[in-house]
Amino acid sequence: MLAIQGGVPVYDVKSRPWPVWPISDGTELSLLKEVLDSRVWSYNGPKELEFIRRWKAFTGSDHVFLVANGTVSIQLALEACGIGYGDEVIVPGLTWQATAAAVLDVNAVPVLVDVEEDTWCLDPVKFEQTITERTKAVIPVHLYGNMADMDAVLSIARKHGLRVIEDAAHKHGACWRGVAAGTLGDIGSYSLQLSKILTAGEGGILTAQDAQIAGRLDALRNCGRRPSNLIVDKGAGQYGEVGDFIQSGNYRITEFQAAVLLAQFARMEQQNAVRDKNACMLDAMLSKLPGISTMRDDPRETHRAYFKYAFRYDEGQVGIPVDRFRSALSAELGLKVESCYQPLNNCSLYRPHTKQRHNLNPEYWKAIDPSRFDLPACWRIFKSVAVTLPQNLLLASEEDIALVGRAVAKVLDGKSALV
């Protein structure tokens, strides 16, 4: 009998809880005490500069900046690329609302484009078909366990003279053809929010390869101060143009967050290796089950990172709605099994017309209406295909991961009870 009907669940969370997230130990406490005792609690402190050095070495990026969160990081990236009122920025329709909201916050127009069925990332064909004379940039989003097709995205962007801002919020440590996610485009943006695989509670990282863009990013994050107006550690990657101040605000990170980040980063590669091993194990088990398909295995993604583990469900083949399948699987595993993000053309958290600051004029107001975009693949995935498991599950033992596969098989075998 299925657990949702009162049967015994496959996984007993009372006796064997799933791994917690985030993970911490005495390292965080020690580093936080160092910050307290130093009296350097704000920005450009030694912990922040040390993380910048390490992230540069890890990703091969020329320029790295820490900012307040992974939403303003995209906003600052757009501003650094000179994108503003009336410019169009192409965004996949399946992503967290912040990707598009950041475009609104620079008075540009988010243009929502459909995704590929087997990666849930930006469809390159639809991307190119959507480009107009107003298009100035594209934001490919690396979603859950997949990377966008960066070969195609970069080729199309270069052909049309577009800036590429990578949303790598889910992909700390992933690589495309050996190149770090977040360093393939003009600017890379990573989130450090609590649920992400590298976290400081809140925060964001920006990477750039161009010194002029980097100079603008540095000024934009720091109240408009040009780097030449600061006393900074030049070796940590503080670059920019000598000149006057520019208009901006305070988007800096604190030294306390940087301290936590250093401790978290020290564990990230090992954790990513465990997640990758367990995800491969799940792929092998689930690919043998009827009505279940794993995500595209793209050999160009040479290192993987998983914010969540996602797989695809075939309602027609299984014969029960995916929401019932997810509920039954949740009961077997003792954790929440979910769909993917809501498509942005009708997303409860993406409502541009509820904020009067965006009502610049009737033309712009109409342009930012998300309901004008058609996203059939996004909605098919959200309503009847997507099944996602939290990333902390992927830190469990091999024995526990085997039980996940067993739970999926049990629900499929007992599907008649769910009709």
**Four-point Cα dihedral 397, 398, 402, 405, nearest 10:** 80
pTM over 0.85: yes
Within this chain, do residues 15 and 30 fall inside the same structural domain, yes or no?
A: no
Distance CA 263, CA 268 (A): 9
Looking from the CA of 28 toward its CB, the CA atoms found within 13 Å total 14
Q: Which of 263, 296, 325 is the last residue of a domain?
A: 263
> 81 and 225, same structural domain?
yes
User: Structural domain of residue 8, as residue ranges?
Assistant: 3-22+267-341+379-418
Domain total in the chain:
2
**213 in any annotated domain:** yes
In a domain, 195, yes or no: yes
Q: Is the Cα dihedral 115, 117, 121, 126 positive or negative?
A: negative
> HSE of 54 in the Cβ direction (CA atoms, 13 Å)?
18
Q: Which of 244, 263, 282 is the last residue of a domain?
A: 263
pLDDT in tens, the chain (419 residues): 999 999 999 999 999 999 999 999 999 999 999 999 999 999 899 999 999 999 999 999 999 999 999 999 999 999 999 999 999 999 999 999 999 999 999 999 999 999 999 999 999 999 999 999 999 999 999 999 999 999 999 999 999 999 999 999 999 999 999 999 999 999 999 999 999 999 999 999 999 999 999 999 999 999 988 764 333 444 444 444 445 678 999 999 999 999 999 999 999 999 999 999 999 999 999 999 999 999 999 999 999 999 999 999 999 999 999 999 999 999 999 999 999 999 999 999 999 999 999 999 999 999 999 999 999 999 999 999 999 999 999 999 999 999 999 999 999 999 999 98
Domain-located, residue 48: yes
354 within domain boundaries = no
Residue 72 lies in a domain: yes
CATH number of the domain encompassing residue 302: 3.90.1150.10
Residue 206: name the closest of 43, 55, 50 by CA: 55
- The CB density around residue 369, as the number of other CB atoms within 10 Å, is 11
Statement to judge: residues 217 and 303 lie in one domain: no
Residues 6+ apart with CB under 8 A from 318: 290, 291, 325, 412, 415
Residues 55 and 90 in one domain: yes
Specify whether the CB–CB gap between 286 and 405 falls below 8 A: yes
Distant-in-sequence, close-in-space partners of 249: CB < 8 Å, separation ≥ 6: 223, 224
